[in-house]
Chain A
């Protein structure tokens, strides 16, 4: 699976959009981009995934660049409950496993 690079930490003001970047420059054509988050003292939680088109669900939006070498997770109106570690994962289609990195620690500031 391709490796990912994320900033170690980020802050965002409550109510603003939180934009979390992820670099995956070695991604190949059969690899999906997944995002999970882990709130303190809980297990990771799935957020969203995509292949090459932008995706949106009730939690977030995922923007993947045209060359697929990077992506951005957008939390449109961040709340204090969004404070968590966010993991960007690249996963080969057909591979059941996820490989987690160290993620981005997002802190939402009141």
Chain B
């Protein structure tokens, strides 16, 4: 079974802190994605990566950056966390090619106080 794991299920950080959210997949997938999910807004794509060291902005990249140094790991970075970044963050991966589905991790609920 494909497994996508995220470093924490719940995280509480203070405003201004630098926050790292880690995602690891074990299926040698080329593509990895970061979404955030907020009530009434559905899932929104923040960034995605189609190869090591490659990244593309999604629909809401402001306030975030990403890092992909190894194929299996994709990190989301909040350089200076703000309260409006309180959200559920979901990581996903997929094989290259659009006929492949995305596999999601369980999510990290981040609260910024």
Q: Give A contacts to B, CB under 8 Å.
A: 32, 34, 41-46, 49, 87, 91-103
Interface residues of B in 87-113 (CB under 8 A from A): 90, 92, 94, 96, 98, 101-107
When the two chains form their complex, are residues B98 and A91 in contact, meaning their CB atoms are under 8 A apart? yes
When the two chains form their complex, are residues A43 and B104 in contact, meaning their CB atoms are under 8 A apart? yes
- What separation, in Å, do the CA atoms of A96 and B33 have in the docked complex? 10
Interface residues of B in 54-113 (CB under 8 A from A): 58-59, 90, 92, 94, 96, 98, 101-107
- What separation, in Å, do the CA atoms of A41 and B109 have in the docked complex? 10
Residues of B within 8 A of A94 (CB): 98
> What would 14 A/B residue contacts be, using CB atoms closer than 8 Å?
A42-B107, A43-B4, A43-B90, A44-B92, A44-B102, A46-B101, A87-B43, A91-B98, A94-B98, A96-B50, A96-B98, A97-B45, A97-B58, A99-B45
Other-chain contact of A43, B31, B40, B92, B96 (Cβ < 8 Å)? B92
- What separation, in Å, do the CA atoms of A91 and B40 have in the docked complex? 21
Using C-beta atoms within 8 Å of the partner chain, give the interface range for chain B. Answer: 20 to 34
The 7 closest A-B pairs by CB, nearest first: A43-B104, A46-B101, A100-B43, A100-B42, A102-B42, A44-B104, A43-B90
Q: Is the interface of B mostly helix, strand, loop or mixed?
A: strand
- What separation, in Å, do the CA atoms of A97 and B103 have in the docked complex? 13
CB closest residue in chain A, given B101: A46
Interface residues of B in 13-50 (CB under 8 A from A): 31, 33, 35, 40-45, 48, 50
- Could you tell me the distance in whole angstroms from the C-beta of B31 to the nearest C-beta in chain A? 6
Residues of A within 8 A of B45 (CB): 97-99
Residues of A within 8 A of B42 (CB): 87, 100-103
- What separation, in Å, do the CA atoms of A101 and B44 have in the docked complex? 9
- Could you tell me the distance in whole angstroms from the C-beta of A46 to the nearest C-beta in chain B? 4
Given contacts A96-B50, A97-B48, A97-B58, whether A46 and B102 have CB atoms under 8 Å apart is yes
Residues of A within 8 A of B48 (CB): 96-97
